[in-house]
């Protein structure tokens, strides 16, 4: 079974600085998707960034970028120029790329989250 | 546009009462639909998923059940709520074209 581990329960960053959140995962599959979700106090789950495992190039979305190391099974999130609105829980998640008909392998598996605080 | 609706937003129910949470999606067909629960300060736990009408798979034995009476409707139910059913419930859908999960706004359930 696949697992996702976020080893940093809490992180803090100064406004305008850069912070990196860590995520590691365990899988025997070769094709999968990885995600970072943001959950602000409203608890709405918001997709921050996604990475397809077959792509070697790291995904970027504005101030958010990932460092995807497939061999090491590592998927960290870098937030540049941190803003107060970035304060939230961040979840790393894994999903198999294989069709999930009749099985649970297509379900999204979450880490336990990292709470990010941004200091003004 | 593709959207997901979930209601109610907040619910306070006494122990032993029934439950019905509803989730509907728009702008897509035959989506894979999911119910997750999030306990306070913790990650998300998958409860049920559905790949089509009438097809429900349960991930965790519990006091809850799910149904999918229509292609874009997913319902979470309970006949008798327990205190341990309290939590934040999220509906989500996945399509390959979307390359990701889209979540509803969630329901905060408190069982008293």
Count other Cβ atoms within 10 Å, centred on residue A5.
13
How far is it, in rounded angstroms, from Cα B1 to Cα B55? Answer: 25
Region B31-44 average pLDDT:
84
Tokens of A70: 């497939």
The pLDDT of residue A106 is 55
φ and ψ of A109, to 5 deg: -110, 125
pLDDT tens per residue across span B44-98 = 888 998 988 999 988 876 789 999 999 999 999 999 999 999 999 999 988 666 6
Strands B73-78 and B19-26: antiparallel
The pLDDT of residue B90 is 95
Interface of A with B in 24-53 (CB under 8 A): 33, 35, 42-47, 50, 52
How far is it, in rounded angstroms, from Cα B96 to Cα A51? Answer: 14
DSSP of B20-32, one letter per residue?
A: EEEEEEES-SS-E
Nearest to B90 among A42, A45, A47 (CB): A45
Task: Give the residue with greater pLDDT, B32 vs B73.
Answer: B73
The pLDDT of residue B95 is 67
In the Cβ-directed half-sphere of A102, how many Cα atoms lie within 13 Å? 0
A45-A4-A10-B41 Cα dihedral, nearest 10 degrees:
60
Interface of A with B in 70-99 (CB under 8 A): 91, 93, 95
φ and ψ of A54, to 5 deg: -80, -10
The pLDDT of residue A102 is 41
The pLDDT of residue A36 is 96
Q: Please tell me if residue B105 touches chain A, with a CB cutoff of 8 Å.
A: yes
Region B8-18 average pLDDT:
96
Nearest to A112 among B42, B57, B92 (CB): B42
The pLDDT of residue B28 is 81
The pLDDT of residue A17 is 98
The pLDDT of residue B97 is 62
CA distances for B40 relative to A91, A109, A113, B31, B44, angstroms: 14, 18, 12, 28, 10
- Chain A residue numbers with beta carbons less than 8 Å from the beta carbon of B95 are none
The pLDDT of residue B8 is 94
How far is it, in rounded angstroms, from Cα A33 to Cα A51? Answer: 6
The pLDDT of residue A2 is 83
Give just the sign of the alpha carbon dihedral B25, B27, B32, B37.
negative
The pLDDT of residue A101 is 43
Choose among B83, B39, B37, B40: nearest CA to B60: B37
The pLDDT of residue A57 is 94
Q: Do B90 and A101 touch (CB under 8 A)?
A: no
Q: What is the residue-level pLDDT of chain A in tens, covering all 120 positions?
A: 789 999 999 999 999 999 999 999 999 988 889 999 999 988 889 999 999 999 989 999 999 999 999 999 999 999 999 999 999 999 999 988 775 444 454 578 899 999 999 999
For residue A13, list its beta bridge partners. Answer: A118
- Chain B residue numbers with beta carbons less than 8 Å from the beta carbon of A50 are 99-100
How far does B106 lie from chain A, in Å, by closest CA?
7
The pLDDT of residue B61 is 67
- Check residue A81 and give left, alpha or beta (phi > 0: left; psi -120 to 50: alpha): left
Q: Please tell me if residue A100 touches chain B, with a CB cutoff of 8 Å.
A: yes
Choose among B30, B37, B33: nearest CA to B5: B33
DSSP A102: T
């Amino acid at each position: 079974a696949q697992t996702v581990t976020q080893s940093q329960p809490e992180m803090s960053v100064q406004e305008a600085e850069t912070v990196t959140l860590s995520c590691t995962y365990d899988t025997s599959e070769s094709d999968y998707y990885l995600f970072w979700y943001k959950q602000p106090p409203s608890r709405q789950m918001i997709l921050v960034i996604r990475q397809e495992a077959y792509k070697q190039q790291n995904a970027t979305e504005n101030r958010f970028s990932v460092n995807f190391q497939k061999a090491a099974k590592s998927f960290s999130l870098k937030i540049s120029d941190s803003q107060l609105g970035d304060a939230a829980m961040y979840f790393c998640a894994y999903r198999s790329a294989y069709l999930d008909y009749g099985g649970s392998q297509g379900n999204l598996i979450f880490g336990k989250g990292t709470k990010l605080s941004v200091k003004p | 546009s593709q959207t997901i609706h979930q209601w109610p937003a907040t619910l306070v129910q006494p122990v032993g009462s029934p439950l019905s949470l509803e989730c509907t999606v728009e702008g897509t067909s035959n989506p894979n639909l999911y119910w997750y629960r999030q306990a306070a300060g913790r990650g998300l736990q998958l409860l049920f998923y559905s790949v089509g009408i009438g097809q429900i798979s349960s991930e965790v034995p519990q006091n809850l059940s799910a149904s999918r009476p229509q292609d874009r409707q997913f319902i979470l139910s309970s006949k008798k709520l327990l205190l341990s059913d309290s939590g934040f419930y999220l509906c989500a859908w996945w399509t390959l074209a979307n390359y990701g999960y889209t979540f509803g706004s969630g329901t905060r359930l408190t069982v008293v």
